[in-house]
Structure 1
């Protein structure tokens, strides 16, 4: 398996960018259209913050898993690309990067702040948590259902092909 760092970076930018787009524009617009103003809109926004935080955790864990299982990247290359990818949020090259940094910090930070009001995640803390989630994701492997079924069928065939002596009859009846 060859390393494909550019493909992983494109996938990470797309996933994080879509989360930012959904949280900052799509969900508030839909809530504004459907609920108007008032308590119901406020409650929906709170629910949206929690849902986006949970999805953010899953996206970062998934990016870590994909980096290892699909693209075959080493941990050092993933950490280097992750640092370069998120450097946009820390280096104020352009005026709009501060807005993106606040939005990106809010992906995870708003959900945490709802449960722990005394904690406000900084950009650095958010980056460290996201990098930790990505590192945890590297040890996860998602298998297709067909692959799992093949494994079970092979195991079942192996049990059925055992000779029918007294000790093996017990196992074949339980399966």
Structure 2
């Protein structure tokens, strides 16, 4: 990948790896330290799964927005970056290292939170979650974040306009 597409791929891998690291190791460690009772720790881990699921949805929307507004990628290159990063995650044979199956870890970002609502009926295949995340990514391309400050014109001599903060 060249130019901005490579930067987008690095950004996507970094953000997703950070969330996975927090979900799998950091949060459970601190919960086990702060809440020694098993029932309280279990309840806190359930809350973390729900929060991580919602945050992951917002992350994919933000990555889509970043692909369009910051990196300037059109739909085709954006989808190519998305598929290049996620294709290995959708194939368990490609995403396995001893002791860790990255497909299960990645699909747990959103899937674990959804599974808490009705565990018997809501099991998601990684390809289904890949489609959901792709839709969130494409939805994010329609979102642009701008400054919240309003600015107005101030007349200067000779008819020049200058931005002025209120």
TM-score in same-fold range (> 0.5): yes
Alpha carbons of structure 1 residues 149 and 94: separation in structure 2 relative to 1, 3 Å:
closer
Larger Rg: 1
Conserved in 1, the CA contact under 8 Å of 2:52 and 2:109? Answer: yes
Higher helix share: 1
Establish whether residue 21 from structure 1 lines up as the match of residue 24 from structure 2: no
Q: Is the contact between residue 67 and residue 141 of structure 2 (CA under 8 Å) also seen in structure 1?
A: yes
The two structures have a TM-score, normalised by structure 2, of 0.84
How much has 1:139 moved relative to structure 2?
A: 0.3
Q: CA deviation at 1:43?
A: 0.6
Q: Structure 2 matches for 1:155-174, cutoff 5 A?
A: none
Tell me how far apart the structure 2 counterparts of residues 144 and 9 of structure 1 sit (CA, whole Å). Answer: 26
1:23-42 counterparts in 2 under 5 A?
23-42=23-42
> Deviations 1:50-94 (Å, cap 9, x if unpaired)?
010011001000000000000110111111111111112133136
Pair 1:137 & 2:145 matched: no
Paired with 2:95 and 2:105, the residues of 1 have a C-alpha distance of 15
Q: What's the counterpart of residue 163 of structure 2?
A: none
Structure 2 stretches of 5 or more lacking a match? Answer: 156-166
User: Does 82-91 or 59-68 show the bigger shift?
Assistant: 82-91
Q: Which structure has the highest strand share of the two?
A: 2
2:34 and 2:122 map into 1 onto residues whose CA distance is 31
Q: Is 1:108 the counterpart of 2:110 in the alignment? A: yes
- Give the drift of 1:44: 0.2
5 Å-filtered alignment, 1:18-167, equals 18-91=18-91, 92-93=93-94, 95-96=96-97, 99-117=101-119, 118-145=121-148, 148-150=149-151, 153-154=152-153
Structure 1 Cα separation of the partners of residues 26 and 143 of structure 2: 31
In 1: Cα distance, 2:94 partner to 2:112 partner: 25
What stretches of structure 1 of length at least 5 have no aligned partner? 159-175
How far did 1:31 drift? 0.5
**Count, aligned residues:** 151
Q: TM-score, normalised by structure 1?
A: 0.80
What is the alpha-carbon root mean square deviation over aligned residues?
2.0
